[in-house]
Amino acid sequence: TGIEEPSWHLSSHRAHEGQSSRSGSLSHGPPHPGLQSVELCAKPFDDTSLLSLPYVLCVADIDECENDYYNGGCVHECINIPGNYRCTCYDGFMLAHDGHNCLDVDECLDNNGGCQQICVNTMGSYECQCREGFFLSDNQHTCIHRSNEGMNCMNKDHGCAHICRETPKGGVACECRPGFELAKNQRDCTLTCNYGNGGCQHTCDDTDTGPVCGCHQKYALHSDGRTCIETCAVNNGGCDRTCKDTATGVRCSCPVGFALQPDGKTCKDIDECLVNSGGCDHFCRNTVGSFECSCQKGYKLLTDERTCQDIDECSFERTCDHTCINSPGSFECLCHRGYTLYGLTHCGGL
């Protein structure tokens, strides 16, 4: 077998002399981040729009879906496109907002899944069931009333898990819905990965005992053995700040000064000044993740960073020329008899 040639993306950048050439298809603009291996391409003979360019640049597309790129981070299917890729999900799943994970679709929410009586949602699929005294018809949606006479498919004791067929010689033969296999007892049906991805959210492997579920890299298998839970290794579990892995998924938390929001992921700054002015005696100023207290003029902030204490200006040397009288947040200077006060602190002769 031959080696598959890489796809090439043609850019309109000029080439430098002395470099090799290779033909490709036209695309205007600079190379996309998903493209690599820049080479020079000869002008295609059928593309007159490139006649003004002596050479053109060709870049090989990166196939992000290759194993080296972990399937592009897609948990189901990865489709490579020139310069990029996109993730898709199996039937019964929908693409999550992150564009990579796949979530179960609850088919029972839409018209009861088409079931005449009971609809039961399963991972990647759903199934119809019937009330007591009825059994599911071959179309797997409508219900038929059971008969108590004879060994036929109308009898409630025919024993088939899915589909019952009457044989020419009398009696019944059981069949299974697509994606299931008939068990050794010829009555029960065993789920396979071909139906609803085997009930697995991410990966499914068929074994002798039935499907075994697994998870995409950096996800963890839930205790139910089917669903996959986020781990802190993937985008920090979606947490703004601290992420902790638990048995049921990630648990986000926030540092002091921040509050965890109802989405369980986002941290929002707490404005401590809204409650009792943050405990500040005078002024409170909110900051990101904290707050600061400050005092009015004539007061100083104590070491508890909340309490404001009057500054005794009279305790400072030469605050007033003559007499100093301290007051809360301020002070007053007085002069001896025969002197007058100039400004706030100086005394001069009359």
Domains defined for the chain, CATH in brackets: 8-61 (no CATH), 107-210 (2.10.25.10), 235-269 (2.10.25.10), 272-310 (2.10.25.10), 314-349 (2.10.25)
Average pLDDT over residues 325-347: 92
How confident is the model over 129-147, as a mean pLDDT? 82
**pLDDT for position 68:** 60
Q: Which of 52-66, 87-101, 177-191 has the highest mean pLDDT?
A: 87-101
Over residues 63-92, the mean pLDDT reads 87
Question: How does residue 349 score in pLDDT terms, banded at 50, 70 and 90?
Answer: confident
Using CA atoms, how far residue 83 sits from 5, 7, 23, 54, in Å, is 16, 10, 17, 24
Position 196 scores a pLDDT of: 87
Residue % of the chain over a pLDDT of 90: 45
Local structure of 59: helix, strand or coil: strand
Residue 190 reports pLDDT greater than 70: yes
List, in order, residues 6 or more apart from 186 with CB less than 8 Å away: 173, 174
Q: Over 70: is that where the pLDDT of 206 sits?
A: yes
Q: For the purposes of burial, counting CB atoms within 10 Å of the CB of 173, is it exposed (0-12), middle (13-18) or buried (19 or more)?
A: middle
Q: In which order are the strands placed within the sheet that holds 8-11?
A: 25-26, 8-11, 56-61, 35-41
CB–CB of 118/128 below 8 Å?
yes
Look at residues 195, 194, 197 and name the one whose alpha carbon lies nearest to residue 89. Answer: 197
Number of neighbours of residue 266 by Cβ within 10 angstroms: 16
Q: Record the tokens describing residue 139, joined without a space.
A: 């179309």
3-state secondary structure 190-248: EECCCCHHHHCCCEEEEECCEEEEECCCCCEECCCCCCEECCCCCHHHHCCCEEEEECC
What mean pLDDT do residues 135-153 have? Answer: 74
What is the pTM assigned to this prediction?
Answer: 0.50
pLDDT of residue 102: 93
Contact 47, 29 (CB under 8 A): no
DSSP 6: P
Q: Does 34 score more than 70 pLDDT?
A: no
* pLDDT tier for residue 87 given thresholds of 50, 70 and 90: very high
Residues 108-121: pLDDT tens digits? 999 999 999 999 99
* Mean pLDDT score of the chain: 81
pLDDT at 16: 38
- Greatest alpha-carbon pair distance for the chain in Å reads 138
- What is the four-CA torsion angle of 335, 336, 340, 343, rounded to 10 degrees? -20
